[in-house]
Structure 1
C-alpha cells in the first residue's frame, strides 16, 4: 500500500503534481486563493484520492488509462471535452472520461473523491462479455437510485476497505480485490455500458448442463482463497460466463459468485473455530478472519454468518 499527500498554494507545483499523479495536463487560471490539497491511498491496482481546490481551475489532460470515478462533495466540475458542457455537483458520482481519451474541463472550488482502477476488470466481472472488451458509454448513472448505489460503493471502499486491507488481507489481497470487483460490478449495473442487456446465446443455454456445474464447483473449491472472478470460473470449464450462470441457476439454485461467497464463509467458519483468541499476535479476530476471506463489510459478514451457523462469529471465536 502506498500513500501520497500534496498541499500547495503554487499553481506550477500543483500542475506538476497532477501531471505526475494522473496524466500530463495543463491547468489555467490565476486565482487569489490557489490552495490545493490532494491525498492518495493506493493498493492492489486501486487508487482513492481526496481532493480539495479553493479556486476555479481549468484543465486540459491526456488519457488516464484507468476507469476514473468522481464523487462530488462540494462545488462543481464542468466537463468541456469535445466542446460540450456537462455540469456535475454535490451528491453525483460519475465517470470523468473514457480511459483511452483526453479530456478537458473546470474544477470550480470543489471537494471530491477520485477512484481509479484498471478498465480490464470490467470484462472480468461482466457476465456476458466472454472476456472481450467492455466499455462505459455514458458518464452519468442511469437513474437516481443507481447514482446513490454507485456513490455508496465508492464511499464504503474509500472509508472502510482501503486502509483496513493493509491489516486484514492475506498474501493474496483477497479483501481488497473482492471489494474492487464489487465496485466494478456496481459500475456495470449503474453506468451505461456495452455489457448491459446482452441477449442469451443458444450456445450458453446448451452449455449450462450438470458437468459445467461440476467443473465450476471443483474450481471454486480449489481456488476460493485466490482473487477469482466469474470470468475465471468460466474459463476453467471452459464455457462462457453466462453459461456458468445458467448452470448454477438451473442445477444449484444460486449463482457462481453466491456459491463462492458461501465457500469463503465456510472457510472463515473453520478459521474461527481453530483460532486462539488469546493469541498475542492479535491476528485471531473476527475482522481479521473475515477480511482474510474477502468480507469487507463486517455487518454483512456477521449477518450472513449468523444465518448460516445460528450464532454470531464472535461466539464461535470465543468457543474455539
Structure 2
C-alpha cells in the first residue's frame, strides 16, 4: 500500500501534482483561495483519492486509462467535453469519463472522492460472450437508488477496506482489496448504463445450468476460495458461460456463485478461529481480513447468523463445532 499527501497554496505546484497523479492538466484563472488538499491511498491497482479545492479549476485532460468514479461531497464538477455542460453536485457518484477518451471541464470549489481501477476488471466480472469488452455508456447511475448504491460501495471501500488492509500482510490485504474491488466493479455494472446490462442469455445457458455444472463450480470454489477469483473464473473452470453458472446455482442451490464463495470463506474463517489458541496472537480482525471480509460489523453479523455466536466467542472457546 502506498499513501500520498499534498497540501499547497501554490498553483504551479498543484498543477504539477495533478498532472503527475492523473493526466496533464492546466489550471486557469486567478483564484483568491489557492489552497488544494489531496490525499491518495493506492493498493493492488486501486487508488482512492480525497480532494479539496477552494477555487474553480479548469482541466483539459487526456485519457486516464482507468475507470474513474467521482463522489461529490460539496461544490460541483462541470463536464464540458464535446461542448456539453453537464453539472454534478453533492451526493452524486458518477463516471468522470470513459477510460479511453479525453475529457475537459471545471472543478468548482469542490470536495470529492475519486476512485480509480483497471477497466479490465469490468470484463472479468461481466465476462461478455465473444470476448467483447464492457463499455460504460453513460456517466450517471440509472436511478436515485442506483446512485445511493454506487456511493455506498465507494464509501465502504474508502472507509473500511483500505483501513483493514493496511493492518494485514500483503497476501491477506490483497484478497481483502481484490474482493472489495470486484464488488465495486459489479456494482458499477448494476448501476451505470453499460453494454453488459443489455446482453441476453442464450438457450444454451439454460441447457448448461444442470447439476454437473453446479458440482464442477462448487469444486473450483472450494479449491480456490483463498485466491482472487471472479464469476468469470468460476465459469471458465466448468467451462460454461457466467450466466449458465448463475442459473445452475439459482436452480439447484438457491444461492449465487459469489454468495456460495462468501459462505465458503466464512466457513474457512470459522475453522481458523475454532483451531486458534485462545491465548495466542490470533485476532478476529486478522482472520476476517485473511478471508476477504473488510467490515468487522458485517462479518460478525454474518458469522452470528451462520453459527449462532459471535466470532470472538469461537476464538475464546473453540466452539461451536
User: Deviation at 1:128?
Assistant: 4.8
Q: CA deviation at 1:129?
A: 5.1
CA deviations on 1:75-114 (whole Å, 9 max, x unpaired) are: 1110000000001111111100000000000011111110
Which residue number in structure 2 is paired with residue 300 of structure 1?
A: 298
Normalized against structure 1, the TM-score is what?
0.96
Structure 2 counterpart of 1:186: 187
- 3-state SS in 2 of match to 1:171: helix
Counterpart in the other structure of 1:311: 309
Q: Corresponding residue for 1:236?
A: 237
Partner of 2:262: 261
CA spacing shift, 1:170–1:57, aligned 2, 3 Å: closer
Moved more, 244-253 or 67-76: 244-253
Q: Match of 2:85?
A: 85
Looking at structure 2, the residues matched to 163 and 47 of structure 1 have their Cα atoms a distance apart, in angstroms, of: 13
- Measured against aligned partners, the alpha-carbon deviations of 1:122-179 in whole angstroms (never above 9, x if no partner) come to 1111265565311111111111111111111111111111121121356151111111
Give the whole-Å Cα distance in 2 for the aligned partners of 1:298 and 1:128.
34
- TM-score of the two chains, using structure 2 as the length reference: 0.95
RMSD value, Cα: 1.4
User: Residues of 2 paired with 1:159 and 1:310: CA distance?
Assistant: 28
- Cα distance, 1:212 vs. partner? 1.3
CA contact (8 A) 2:14 2:36 kept: yes
Matches within 5 A, 1:281-300: 282=281, 284-300=282-298
CA distance in structure 1 between the partners assigned to 2:95 and 2:206 by the alignment = 34
Note if contact 1:212-1:237 (Cα within 8 Å) is conserved in structure 2: yes
Residue 160 in structure 1 maps to residue 160 in structure 2: yes
**Change beyond 3 A, Cα 1:169–1:244:** farther
- In the TM superposition, what is the alpha-carbon distance from 1:211 to its structure 2 partner? 1.7
What is the number of residues matched between the two proteins?
Answer: 317
Cα distance in structure 2, aligned partners of 1:21 and 1:317: 43
Name the structure 1 match of 2:33: 33
CA distance in 2, matches of 1:305, 1:132: 38
Kept in 1: contact 2:278–2:317 (CA 8 A) = no
Gaps of 5+ in 1: none
Gaps of 5+ in 2: none
Q: Following superposition of structure 1 onto structure 2, how do residues 24-173 of structure 1 map, counting pairs within 5 Å?
A: 24-126=24-126, 128=128, 131-168=131-168, 171=171, 173=174
Query: Matched residues in 1 for 2:51 and 2:294: separation?
Result: 24
Measure, in 2, the Cα distance between the counterparts of 1:149 and 1:31: 35
